[in-house]
Amino acid sequence: GAPPAPAPRAGGTPAERREVAPRGEAPAPAPRTAPATPPPAASLRVPFTQAGLAAAWGDIVALARAESPFLGEALSLCRVADVAPPRVGLRLEDPSPGHAMTLEAQKARAEQFLARVVGGAVALALDGAPAAEAPRPQRLSDQALRADRLKGLRARDPALDAAADELDLEIVD
């Protein structure tokens, strides 16, 4: 009988580790995966209906993100509200004015992208975008602030309301 082979050492140089590995058994090569590149938008054909666009919206957003991250993000915030070719109504799910402005800025690009997906002209209509900026609030004077506080106190307590009327009270800081 031959003496048993020495146990392989855990450490050592790479050359020593190769010599210790059993001969004839090559390590299996790691499987190579191709980078996940989405197909171009022209390869995705979606029926130009509300149901067709709504069902494929996730794929449309993914393709848009591959083409333009900003466009994809803008479309990810929307849902298909209605479709009447060539009009596509999108409802903005996030009422943030910043997102609405981004979507307005990307509108022409989104129309071109969706036209390639559905195979026809598209006119986007944004249903959830704020129509106009809210007016700036007026600055309160000290007198208006005191009157507002007194009005709040009067509403809370009817006895205080009667006393304020009878004694002509006002709030003093």
Question: pLDDT digits over 71-114, tens only?
Answer: 888 899 899 999 999 999 999 887 778 888 888 888 999 999 99
User: Is 0.75 topped by the overall pTM?
Assistant: no
Of residues 163 and 61, more confidence is placed in: 61
- Strand 123-126 and strand 78-84: the pairing is unpaired
Average pLDDT over residues 123-146: 74
Average pLDDT over residues 132-154: 78
User: Token pair of 145, please?
Assistant: 């602030």
Residue type, 36: A
User: Token pair of 8, please?
Assistant: 């392989």
Provide the pLDDT confidence category of residue 16 given band limits of 50, 70 and 90.
low
